[in-house]
Amino acid sequence: MASRQLTLEASGNGRDQLTLTLRNPAPTPITVALPAGLIATGRAPDSRVIVLRATTAHLPAQSAVEVALPVVGLSSKNVAAAQVFTVTTASEPKLAALLQALADQPDAPRPTAQLAVLSLLEDTTFAQWRVFSGAAAEPSPTPAEVTQAIDALGLLRTIEPQRTFALASDAELKRLALRNPWCRAKAMAIYGLDLGDGAVPPDLRQLLHTQPGDNCPVCRQRALLQKPAEIP
């Protein structure tokens, strides 16, 4: 960019969307590496986002390419608004282990990653997370919300096993998770409870599909899409 071999424009919503428009004015093609951990800053206050996974963009000669990057906010104060962003050279060392853990979880749900980031940077509580995600308007957390929190807590336990997070100390989240069939087995493993009958606890890092009916995020979304339409 400094030598004008590449121009870049960035826009996003301050939370989970960041789109880069890359233009190559040169007569030869170029390849652009976009690393995990790349940080972009929006015009609105507290609108910094971080890229979760590395990607590569191939630009033919004298052409432009749009790249949508998987990002999450770096603060619970992130403003949710469409705005222009600037790519920076900043980094966040506190998230290095999480980014490495997410590298082999390409389909990890964005809300789970977002909660893990806020927990590492701000030690966010479950109640604060519901406010950030806009779910606090509903009186009771949904099974999906509880599962997102337990999945995030599983990630946190694998990368910082000695740290006590606010999520792990939340008695209400624990009660809801142990009653939730979507995440009960993982919750029991996280809270150190015996599964009984010689059952093997699940891998706390596992967020993706391993077998039919395992209530992974992909299976849950598929089940919702396959529900027959209700007849009035």
* Alpha-carbon gap, residue 183 to 212, rounded angstroms: 15
The pTM for the full model equals 0.84
Q: CA quadruple 135, 139, 143, 147: dihedral positive or negative? A: positive
Q: Where are the domains of the chain?
A: 1-91, 94-232
Q: Please give the class, per CATH, of domain 1-91.
A: mainly beta
Closest CA to 75 of 25, 30, 123, 108: 123
Please give the average pLDDT of every successive group of 10 residues along the chain, which has 232 residues: 82 95 93 95 91 94 95 94 95 96 83 95 96 89 92 92 94 94 87 69 55 55 56 48
